[in-house]
């Protein structure tokens, strides 16, 4: 696969800007730095950066599972539930579509638990992420007009990290997400 060196340099620059010196070992601090860098890249809403980050830092066989509950007062039942189970390339496409659909995107992320496996080569990192976004969608009542919607999502994930050649690699994510549309 051909990689654009400018994109890789930008990922490295974002990593450096967020204080990441990616790990020679998995520790809570290196996991926090890695997770913060991951969300910094997602926040850029740049499809190329997102793709390059996850192609480099996620195992090709990684699974990304989200159990989602959406709350919207305009829905007939007010609540909609679903589950997504995606491989790495599907998840990259999904993230690109979702982030590009927003006008503004912000994350606040906290590592709530860090459990290192015996031998120190893998860990389960539990996180809590709060996402706020602003988007414009077509107004169903006025042709050619749009309305602004604000969304807040609270997500709890268990992220499996494996140490490979001194770099943390995502081997899987299992998340529960609640989205409120205002």
Q: CA 139, CA 93: separation in Å to the nearest integer? A: 26
Least confident of 17-21, 39-43, 65-69: 17-21
pLDDT category at 54 given cuts 50, 70, 90 is: very high
DSSP H or E run through 173: strand 167-181
130-148 per-position pLDDT tens digit: 999 998 878 778 888 888 8
Q: Which of 22, 63, 52 is nearest to 168 (CA)?
A: 22
pLDDT category at 128 given cuts 50, 70, 90 is: very high
Question: What domains appear along the chain, each with residue ranges and CATH number?
Answer: 5-181 (3.10.450.50)
Taking residues 90-98, report their average pLDDT: 94
Least confident of 20-34, 64-78, 154-168: 20-34
pLDDT category at 93 given cuts 50, 70, 90 is: very high
Instruction: Write down the number of H helices and E strands in the chain.
Output: 4, 6
Q: Which of 98, 6, 5, 91 is nearest to 51 (CA)?
A: 91
pLDDT of residue 16: 44
Contacts of 158 (CB under 8 A, 6+ apart): 124, 125, 126, 173, 174, 175
Least confident of 82-91, 101-110, 138-147, 168-177: 138-147
- Please give the angle made by the CA atoms of 114, 120 and 107, to the nearest 5 degrees: 35
Q: Does the structure show a pLDDT above 50 at 113?
A: yes
């Amino acid at each position: 696969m051909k990689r654009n060196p400018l994109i890789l340099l930008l990922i490295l620059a974002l990593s450096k800007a967020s204080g990441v010196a990616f790990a020679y070992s998995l520790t809570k601090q290196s996991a926090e730095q890695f997770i913060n860098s991951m969300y910094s890249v997602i926040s850029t809403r740049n499809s190329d950066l997102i793709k390059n980050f996850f192609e480099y830092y996620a195992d090709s066989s990684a699974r990304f599972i989200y159990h989602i509950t959406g709350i919207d007062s305009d829905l007939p039942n007010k609540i909609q539930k679903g589950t997504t189970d995606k491989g790495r390339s599907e998840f990259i496409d999904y993230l690109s579509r979702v982030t590009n659909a927003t006008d503004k995107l912000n994350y606040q992320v906290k590592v709530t638990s860090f459990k290192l496996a015996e031998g120190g080569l893998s860990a389960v990192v539990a996180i809590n992420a709060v996402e706020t976004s602003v988007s414009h969608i077509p107004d169903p009542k006025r042709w050619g007009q749009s309305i602004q919607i604000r969304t807040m999502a609270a997500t709890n994930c268990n992220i499996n990290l494996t140490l490979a050649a001194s770099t943390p690699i995502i081997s899987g994510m299992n998340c529960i997400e609640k989205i409120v549309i205002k």
